[in-house]
Amino acid sequence: MIAEQVLFWVFALGTVGSAAAVVFTRNAVASAMSLVGCFFFLAGVYVLLWAHTIAAIQVLVYAGAIMVLFLFVIMLLSLSDQGPVLSFTPSRILGGVAVVALFVALTLVFRQGSDAPLTWTGDAAKLSSFGTIQHLGEVLYTQWLFPFEAVSLLLLVAILGAVVVAKPRI
Protein backbone atom coordinates (compact mmCIF):
# COMPACT_ATOMS: atom_id res chain seq x y z
CA MET A 1 0.00 0.00 0.00
CA ILE A 2 2.79 2.42 0.89
CA ALA A 3 4.51 1.78 -2.46
CA GLU A 4 1.34 2.79 -4.28
CA GLN A 5 1.17 6.04 -2.34
CA VAL A 6 4.80 6.90 -2.97
CA LEU A 7 4.50 6.06 -6.67
CA PHE A 8 1.27 8.05 -6.97
CA TRP A 9 2.84 11.19 -5.51
CA VAL A 10 5.98 10.83 -7.61
CA PHE A 11 3.96 10.44 -10.81
CA ALA A 12 1.39 13.08 -9.86
CA LEU A 13 3.99 15.72 -8.99
CA GLY A 14 5.96 14.83 -12.11
CA THR A 15 2.85 15.17 -14.26
CA VAL A 16 1.81 18.52 -12.81
CA GLY A 17 5.37 19.86 -12.80
CA SER A 18 6.06 18.99 -16.41
CA ALA A 19 2.61 20.23 -17.46
CA ALA A 20 3.41 23.56 -15.79
CA ALA A 21 6.73 23.57 -17.67
CA VAL A 22 4.81 23.12 -20.93
CA VAL A 23 2.73 26.20 -20.19
CA PHE A 24 5.40 28.47 -18.75
CA THR A 25 8.59 27.85 -20.75
CA ARG A 26 9.48 30.26 -23.51
CA ASN A 27 11.08 27.85 -25.96
CA ALA A 28 8.60 25.75 -27.97
CA VAL A 29 11.04 22.81 -28.19
CA ALA A 30 11.45 22.84 -24.40
CA SER A 31 7.65 22.89 -24.10
CA ALA A 32 7.41 19.85 -26.37
CA MET A 33 10.07 17.94 -24.42
CA SER A 34 8.27 18.76 -21.15
CA LEU A 35 5.10 17.43 -22.73
CA VAL A 36 6.87 14.15 -23.55
CA GLY A 37 7.91 13.92 -19.89
CA CYS A 38 4.36 14.68 -18.83
CA PHE A 39 3.04 11.84 -21.00
CA PHE A 40 5.53 9.40 -19.48
CA PHE A 41 4.57 10.35 -15.93
CA LEU A 42 0.92 10.09 -16.90
CA ALA A 43 1.53 6.61 -18.30
CA GLY A 44 2.86 5.72 -14.82
CA VAL A 45 -0.37 7.02 -13.28
CA TYR A 46 -2.31 4.87 -15.75
CA VAL A 47 -0.37 1.79 -14.65
CA LEU A 48 -1.33 2.59 -11.05
CA LEU A 49 -4.95 2.54 -12.24
CA TRP A 50 -4.34 -0.95 -13.71
CA ALA A 51 -4.70 0.42 -17.24
CA HIS A 52 -1.56 -1.23 -18.61
CA THR A 53 -2.77 -1.35 -22.19
CA ILE A 54 -3.70 2.31 -22.27
CA ALA A 55 -0.37 3.19 -20.63
CA ALA A 56 1.48 1.37 -23.42
CA ILE A 57 -0.66 3.09 -26.07
CA GLN A 58 -0.05 6.41 -24.34
CA VAL A 59 3.72 6.01 -24.63
CA LEU A 60 3.58 4.67 -28.20
CA VAL A 61 1.03 7.06 -29.70
CA TYR A 62 1.34 10.22 -27.60
CA ALA A 63 4.95 10.30 -26.45
CA GLY A 64 6.06 8.62 -29.67
CA ALA A 65 4.04 9.52 -32.72
CA ILE A 66 2.22 12.74 -31.83
CA MET A 67 5.18 14.39 -30.15
CA VAL A 68 7.49 13.53 -33.06
CA LEU A 69 4.95 15.28 -35.28
CA PHE A 70 4.98 18.32 -32.98
CA LEU A 71 8.79 18.45 -32.88
CA PHE A 72 8.96 18.12 -36.67
CA VAL A 73 6.61 21.08 -37.11
CA ILE A 74 8.40 23.21 -34.48
CA MET A 75 11.76 22.61 -36.10
CA LEU A 76 10.33 23.01 -39.61
CA LEU A 77 8.99 26.45 -38.76
CA SER A 78 12.17 27.35 -36.78
CA LEU A 79 10.36 29.96 -34.75
CA SER A 80 12.33 32.66 -33.04
CA ASP A 81 11.36 33.51 -29.49
CA GLN A 82 10.36 37.11 -29.39
CA GLY A 83 8.65 39.12 -26.73
CA PRO A 84 7.63 37.94 -23.29
CA VAL A 85 6.19 34.47 -22.75
CA LEU A 86 3.22 35.94 -20.98
CA SER A 87 1.67 39.32 -21.38
CA PHE A 88 -0.84 40.54 -18.89
CA THR A 89 -3.76 41.99 -20.78
CA PRO A 90 -7.08 42.27 -18.93
CA SER A 91 -8.57 39.34 -20.84
CA ARG A 92 -5.59 37.11 -19.92
CA ILE A 93 -5.80 38.05 -16.23
CA LEU A 94 -9.53 37.32 -16.36
CA GLY A 95 -8.80 33.97 -18.01
CA GLY A 96 -6.25 33.08 -15.33
CA VAL A 97 -8.67 33.94 -12.55
CA ALA A 98 -11.38 31.89 -14.26
CA VAL A 99 -9.06 28.89 -14.53
CA VAL A 100 -8.11 29.10 -10.85
CA ALA A 101 -11.80 29.38 -9.93
CA LEU A 102 -12.57 26.34 -12.09
CA PHE A 103 -9.83 24.33 -10.37
CA VAL A 104 -11.08 25.28 -6.91
CA ALA A 105 -14.65 24.42 -7.87
CA LEU A 106 -13.65 21.05 -9.35
CA THR A 107 -11.55 20.21 -6.30
CA LEU A 108 -14.40 21.07 -3.93
CA VAL A 109 -16.78 18.89 -5.93
CA PHE A 110 -14.36 15.96 -6.13
CA ARG A 111 -13.67 16.09 -2.40
CA GLN A 112 -17.33 15.27 -1.81
CA GLY A 113 -16.57 11.82 -3.16
CA SER A 114 -15.49 8.97 -0.94
CA ASP A 115 -12.00 8.99 0.53
CA ALA A 116 -12.02 5.22 0.74
CA PRO A 117 -9.06 3.40 -0.80
CA LEU A 118 -9.70 1.84 -4.18
CA THR A 119 -10.94 -1.66 -3.60
CA TRP A 120 -12.09 -4.08 -6.24
CA THR A 121 -15.83 -3.50 -6.76
CA GLY A 122 -16.38 -5.49 -9.92
CA ASP A 123 -17.07 -9.12 -10.54
CA ALA A 124 -14.40 -11.34 -8.99
CA ALA A 125 -14.11 -13.26 -12.26
CA LYS A 126 -13.22 -10.06 -14.11
CA LEU A 127 -10.37 -9.21 -11.76
CA SER A 128 -7.70 -11.12 -13.67
CA SER A 129 -8.74 -9.74 -17.06
CA PHE A 130 -9.20 -6.09 -16.03
CA GLY A 131 -7.46 -3.82 -18.51
CA THR A 132 -5.50 -6.56 -20.22
CA ILE A 133 -4.93 -6.26 -23.95
CA GLN A 134 -6.71 -9.60 -24.43
CA HIS A 135 -9.93 -8.46 -22.81
CA LEU A 136 -9.88 -5.00 -24.38
CA GLY A 137 -9.20 -6.57 -27.79
CA GLU A 138 -12.09 -8.98 -27.42
CA VAL A 139 -14.51 -6.18 -26.52
CA LEU A 140 -13.09 -3.85 -29.15
CA TYR A 141 -13.41 -6.30 -32.02
CA THR A 142 -16.88 -7.58 -31.13
CA GLN A 143 -19.05 -5.11 -29.26
CA TRP A 144 -17.22 -1.95 -30.37
CA LEU A 145 -16.28 -2.99 -33.89
CA PHE A 146 -18.24 -0.23 -35.61
CA PRO A 147 -16.73 2.66 -33.59
CA PHE A 148 -13.31 1.10 -34.12
CA GLU A 149 -13.77 1.04 -37.89
CA ALA A 150 -15.20 4.57 -37.80
CA VAL A 151 -12.09 5.76 -35.97
CA SER A 152 -9.85 4.08 -38.54
CA LEU A 153 -11.76 5.89 -41.29
CA LEU A 154 -11.43 9.13 -39.31
CA LEU A 155 -7.66 8.68 -39.14
CA LEU A 156 -7.51 8.04 -42.88
CA VAL A 157 -9.52 11.19 -43.60
CA ALA A 158 -7.36 13.17 -41.18
CA ILE A 159 -4.15 12.03 -42.88
CA LEU A 160 -5.51 12.91 -46.32
CA GLY A 161 -6.77 16.24 -45.00
CA ALA A 162 -3.40 17.02 -43.43
CA VAL A 163 -1.64 16.36 -46.74
CA VAL A 164 -4.14 18.47 -48.70
CA VAL A 165 -3.96 21.38 -46.23
CA ALA A 166 -0.20 21.41 -45.71
CA LYS A 167 0.93 20.91 -49.29
CA PRO A 168 1.28 24.20 -51.19
CA ARG A 169 0.30 22.68 -54.52
CA ILE A 170 -1.17 19.23 -55.14
Residues 106-145 that bind other proteins (CB under 8 A): 106-107, 110-111, 113-118, 120-123, 126-127, 130-131, 135-136, 139-140, 144
The full DSSP string for 48-61 is HTT-HHHHHHIIII
Binding mask 16-55 for other proteins (x = CB under 8 A): x--xx-xx----x--xx--x--xx--x--xx-xxxx-xx-
CA dist., res. 110 & res. 81, Å (int): 39
Q: How far is the CB of 132 from other proteins (least distance, A)?
A: 8
**CA torsion 160→164→167→170, rounded to 10°?**
110
Smallest separation (angstroms) from other proteins to the CB of 105: 9
Amino acid identity for residue 58 in this structure: Q
Cβ at position 170, least distance to other proteins in Å = 12
Number of neighbouring beta carbons within 10 Å of residue 162:
11
Told to check if 68 binds other proteins by CB under 8 A, we report no
Q: Give the span between the Cα atoms of 49 and 51, in whole angstroms.
A: 5
The distance of closest approach from Cβ of residue 90 to other proteins in the complex, given in angstroms and rounded to an integer, is: 12
